[in-house]
Amino acid sequence: MAANKKLTSLIKGRKVKAVRQTGAVLLLDFDDGSTMQIKLLEATSSVMVRDKKKVLEYVD
């Protein structure tokens, strides 16, 4: 799957502290105290987060 360029530019350089999911809403908590809300197509959609070296940090 290709990277989502719109999302990549929003999170580039930021560190994800926590990931939470409630139904079809995914919340990314960043180390600067901000939170990003992402609406998923389905509650069972999966998420993968990789660091700048392409190392997998989180998968759900």
- pLDDT score for 2: 65
> In angstroms, how far is CA 21 from the centroid of its own chain?
10
pTM of the model: 0.60
Kindly state the tokens that stand for 4.
């989502």
- pLDDT score for 60: 66
Cross-strand pairs, 50: 56
Closest residue by Cα to residue 15 from 2, 40, 1, 33: 33
Mean pLDDT of 46-60: 76
Q: Give the chain's domain count.
A: 1
CA distance 26 to 46: 10
pLDDT tens-place string over residues 1-49: 566 677 778 888 888 899 888 888 889 999 999 999 988 877 666 677 7
Enclosing domain of residue 15: 5-59
